Every structure is written in C-alpha cells, then in structure tokens.
Amino acid sequence: MIHIAWPWMALLLPLPWLVRRVAPPAATGAVALFLPFVAALAPTGAEDGRRGARRALALFGVLWLLLVAAAVRPQWLGDPQPVPTTGRRVLMAIDVSGSMQTRDMAGSLDRLQVVQQVAGRFIARRHGDRVGLILFGTRPYLQAPLTPDLATVREFLDQAVVGEAGPQTALGDAIGLALKRLRDDPRGAHKGDTVLILLTDGRNTAGVMPPVQAARHAADAGLKIYTIGVGGAPERGFFGLFGGSRSDLDEATLKAIAEATGGAYFRATDAAALRQVYARIDALEPAAGRDQWYRPATEYYDWPLAAALVLSIPLALAWARRGA
C-alpha cells in the first residue's frame, strides 16, 4: 500500500505563492523612456514575451510540485515481517522415561500429558526468547534447537511419547547435551541470558556423566538450571506411616543441581502446582517481550526528484537566454 512518510512537508506547497504575495516587487534603477509608437511597431514581440513568461511560470509550478512530492517521501509498504529480538535462551529438558506414564497428577491424564499441557502454555508465553527442547530417558536427544518459533517447539513437545528415549533416566547426560548445544550456538553464550529447565519424575539411573558434576560444568559455562520434580505425593501405609511411593524422586540431587548453578528446585504433585511452578519461573526469568513486527518500505521519492531535475534544465536555459 502507498504510504506518505512525511505528510507535513505538503505545507510547503503554497510557499512560492506566499512569497510572491508578500515580497515587494523588484525595483529597477533604469530610466524609463516613453515612446508611444513602440507598441504599434512591435506588438508581436511583447505578446511572445508574455507567453514565454507564462510558460516559465507554469514550468516552475510543475517543478515545485515535484519537489514537494519528493519531500513528503512516498513509500510502498510491504507485508509485516517479524523482527528478530535478543531475549533469553531457554532450553527445556523433559523426562519421557517409562514412569512418566503414571496417572497421578490430573485424573485420567498421565504425567507427560500434564507436562505437555502446562509446559506448552509456558512456551507460548516466552515471546522474544529462543526456546529449545530436549527429551531424555535412557539417553537424551535434541527434539527442537533454540528457535524463536515457539509454535513449532510446542508442537514438538505435544508429539513426545513416553519411552521413546528409553525407560531409564539420564539426568547428567541431559545437562551435558544442553551444554553442548549452547556451545555450538552460533550466537554465542552470555552469562545470565541462558537457562535450562530440567523436569523429571525420577532419579538418575542411566548415562555417563553424574548429574552434580554436570551441574558444576553448567555453572562454569554460565548456565542456570531450574529443576522440577513431578509426580504424586507418596502413599501412606498403616498408622499414617509412609508405605509405597508413586514418586521415585531424588530431591537431594535435584536441589544440588539447582544450587550449583544459581537456580532453584520446585516440586509439583499435581497440575495446579505445576502451573504455579512455571508461573514462578516466568517471574524469575521474564520473557523479552511481545513479538515485534515491521513493514518493509520501498522509497519512491527519487522518481519525482529525478523528474524535477530533468525539468529544471529547460528552466535554467530559459533563464540564461533571458539574462543574455
């Protein structure tokens, strides 16, 4: 669509007329000699002079219109385009081991389905940030690299399946993969702008790197880790004592990981508690802001400016002949 960038420049349009009305007529110091027979001798020459003056005035008017048209900066605006923003880098490591199919957090939904709903809404709120997704079980793998395309990351999370990465839990290797991806990030790492949100319902039972050791390496790299333990509360046995447990969390290790990196540990036994956890992380690590957009503009001021330059040539030649 056509857009005028500087419409206020159109106020210059009547400037030549105002100057002609306000400025006094040019004075001449020459002595006039009245010859009454001259008009009878050369009427054609006088008429030609008046026509030439009118043509010069019309040419000047067109020239001025073209200059004002260039001054208002006509543009053609293209379709809106997203503006890349420099926000946080948020890596989400989600446990998809076999125990995540337990249904103890929200009725008929298993733990992973609850996480998909709640964490999906968290991802949708991270406007301006780059979010990545790691799924881990016996081994970790990168499901979505760091990207500002939040809808795609959320879609990948929704497609996660319990047990697709193996039945066990490799917490340390998940942290190690996060560190590797951050080091390979072409945009570089800046301390304080990168967080890892590690969610699990169990303890470390697989992998090569011990979780706390991996957390120390993360702290050296400037990676802050928030750990979330999910799963129902332990069941009570006889006489109010704890009997069996539906949660096999190693809370001591999860707290140690968070403390080593300057993060925090959270416990969520149901969907409502998990929503509060992600809301708390949102407050601790606020997103960069809403997505920003711009409309690319193609400038067209050079067209009337070029036309004005071309028309100024005969005007200058006429002025030169008049002076001669």
Cβ-count burial of 275 within 10 angstroms (0-12 exposed, 13-18 middle, 19+ buried)?
middle
Overall number of domains in the chain: 2
Residues in Cβ contact with 139 at an 8 Å cutoff, skipping those fewer than 6 apart:
165, 166, 170, 173, 206, 207
Tell whether 110 and 228 lie within a shared domain. Answer: yes
Instruction: Report the SS3 class of residue 103.
Output: coil
Residue pair 224/261 in contact by the 8 Å Cβ criterion = yes
pLDDT, averaged per 10 consecutive residues of the chain (324 residues), comes to 86 85 65 51 57 76 88 84 70 94 88 96 91 95 93 96 92 95 70 85 92 94 94 58 60 95 95 95 79 74 87 76 61
Residues in Cβ contact with 173 at an 8 Å cutoff, skipping those fewer than 6 apart:
136, 139, 140, 206, 207, 208, 209, 214
Range of the domain at 218: 85-292
Tell whether 323 and 184 lie within a shared domain. Answer: no
Residue 176 lies in a domain: yes
Tell whether 149 and 274 lie within a shared domain. Answer: yes
pLDDT at 26: 60
Residue 242, strand partner residues = 236
CA–CA distance, 107 with 82 (Å, rounded to integer): 40
Tell whether 114 and 250 lie within a shared domain. Answer: yes
pLDDT at 244: 45
Strands across the sheet containing 74-77: 2-4, 74-77, 297-299
List the one residue out of 156, 138, 139 whose CA is nearest residue 147: 156
**How is residue 209 written in tokens?**
């790197």
Tell whether 136 and 213 lie within a shared domain. Answer: yes
Residue 29 lies in a domain: no
Tell whether 98 and 242 lie within a shared domain. Answer: yes
Tell whether 106 and 4 lie within a shared domain. Answer: no
List the one residue out of 121, 7, 23 whose CA is nearest residue 71: 7
Question: What number of residues does the chain have?
Answer: 324
Give me the long-range contacts of 12-15 (CB less than 8 A, separation at least 24): 12/68, 12/71, 13/64, 13/65, 13/68, 15/64
Place of tokens 């043509």: 55
Residue 20 lies in a domain: no
Query: How many helices, marked H, and strands, marked E, lie in the chain?
Result: 10, 11
Residue 28 lies in a domain: no
Residue 24 lies in a domain: no
Prediction pTM value: 0.63
pLDDT at 107: 81
Tell whether 126 and 180 lie within a shared domain. Answer: yes
CA–CA distance, 90 with 225 (Å, rounded to integer): 10
Residue 106, strand partner residues = 109
Place of tokens 């990030």: 185
Question: Which CATH number fits the domain that encloses residue 206?
Answer: 3.40.50.410
Residue 25 lies in a domain: no
Residue pair 146/89 in contact by the 8 Å Cβ criterion = yes
Q: At what angle do helices 302-323 and 43-71 cross, to 10 degrees?
A: 150
Tell whether 236 and 257 lie within a shared domain. Answer: yes
Residues in Cβ contact with 162 at an 8 Å cutoff, skipping those fewer than 6 apart:
96, 97, 98, 100, 101, 110, 112
Phi first, then psi, for residue 304 (nearest 5°) are -65, -30
Tell whether 192 and 99 lie within a shared domain. Answer: yes
Tell whether 90 and 236 lie within a shared domain. Answer: yes
List the one residue out of 249, 135, 146 whose CA is nearest residue 198: 135
Tell whether 137 and 267 lie within a shared domain. Answer: yes
